[in-house]
Amino acid sequence: MIYRLSSKFKEMFFGCDWPPMPDGLKQGREAREYEFCFEELPLLPTSLSTQCRVFKAPIRPLWRMNYSLDIEIRHKNAILPDFIVWRGGIYVTETVKEIIEQVDPFGHQYWPVTTLITNKKKKVACDKTYFRMNMRRYVFIESAGDTLEELDFSPLGSESEYIAAIQQNSSIRSYVETLPIWQHFTVIGNKRLIDDSQLYLNRTLMNRLKNAGVAGIQEYTEWQGKNKETVGHV
């Protein structure tokens, strides 16, 4: 099983302040140099190399990690999540960070972020420390025109193409199910595109998170999930 995490909570709103860009750094290609520095890793088994490629992202400079996270609570019974995937950002608490590091020694990068939590514009005390996570494992699965089978969520953009490949190719599924956590990375010519609205977890990592009582990873029980349900299935 592959689990798809994409955060959505009706009872709270997330926001973030982007870090200021250093003087002299321009927009365009120079501002997107990160995606062009991924290291392609040898893929085992080699029989998958024509349709599946794995990349390791570089360590980000600290100015790119130095975000602030704002959480606006809109319901008195809201429970702060431990795992947030929102608008290209991944935020985790200390508990999630430690579990990922234990299960996946891939060297994902973390940086503590300043967190402001409010309820009706009043500041709320928080006993959780959040970290910005720099995902470093990216997988590119090339579409082979496979038929997409029924899912319990609506795929975004090209997601339907690479999920169809996972569904129809048992070798690809077997391989990606060994990866504790990853995001998809499209590589076509000079095109570099991170599918950053969702990430994927394998059963081992998901079970560890659930056993630790991690909040924010409730599985879908119906199509698109009910409120507070954030995890679909592939």
What the block records as the tokens of 225 is 């999930």
pLDDT band for position 217 (cuts 50, 70, 90): very high
Average pLDDT score over the chain: 86
Q: How many H-runs (helices) and E-runs (strands) does the chain carry?
A: 5, 16
pLDDT of residue 105: 95
pLDDT band for position 86 (cuts 50, 70, 90): confident
Say which residue the tokens 């009910």 belong to: 226
Rounded to whole angstroms, the Cα distance separating 52 from 66 reads 32
Where does residue 92 rank: exposed (0-12), middle (13-18), buried (19+ CB within 10 A)? buried
pLDDT of residue 66: 79
35 vs 91, more confident? 91
Write b or e for each residue in 50-78: b if 16 or more Cβ atoms lie within 10 A of its Cβ, otherwise e: ebbbbbebeeeeeebbbbebebbbeeeeb
Say which residue the tokens 């025109």 belong to: 145
76 vs 95, more confident? 95
The Cα-based distances of 209 to 73, 74, 204, 225 in angstroms read 23, 26, 9, 19
* pTM of full prediction above 0.85: yes
- 205-229 average pLDDT score: 93
The Cα-based distances of 79 to 74, 76, 95, 129, 212 in angstroms read 11, 9, 15, 15, 16
pLDDT of residue 29: 43
Q: What is the pLDDT of residues 2-13, one digit of tens each?
A: 999 998 777 667
pLDDT band for position 210 (cuts 50, 70, 90): very high
Are 41 and 56 within 8 A, CB to CB?
A: yes
pLDDT above 70: residue 103: yes
- 92-98 average pLDDT score: 97
Rounded to whole angstroms, the Cα distance separating 186 from 195 reads 8
- 205-224 average pLDDT score: 96
Are 217 and 198 within 8 A, CB to CB?
A: no
pLDDT above 90: residue 117: no
Rounded to whole angstroms, the Cα distance separating 175 from 152 reads 22
**For the chain, domain boundaries:** 2-19+38-233
pLDDT band for position 162 (cuts 50, 70, 90): very high
Q: What is the pLDDT of residues 24-82, one digit of tens each?
A: 554 444 455 777 889 999 876 666 767 899 999 999 888 778 778 888 887 777 788 99
Q: What is the pLDDT of residues 182-198, one digit of tens each?
A: 999 988 777 788 888 89
- 124-142 average pLDDT score: 90
- 202-207 average pLDDT score: 98
In order, the DSSP letters of 169-223 are -HHHHHHHTT-SEEEEEEEETTEEEEEEEEEEEEHHHHHHHHHTT-TT-EEPSST
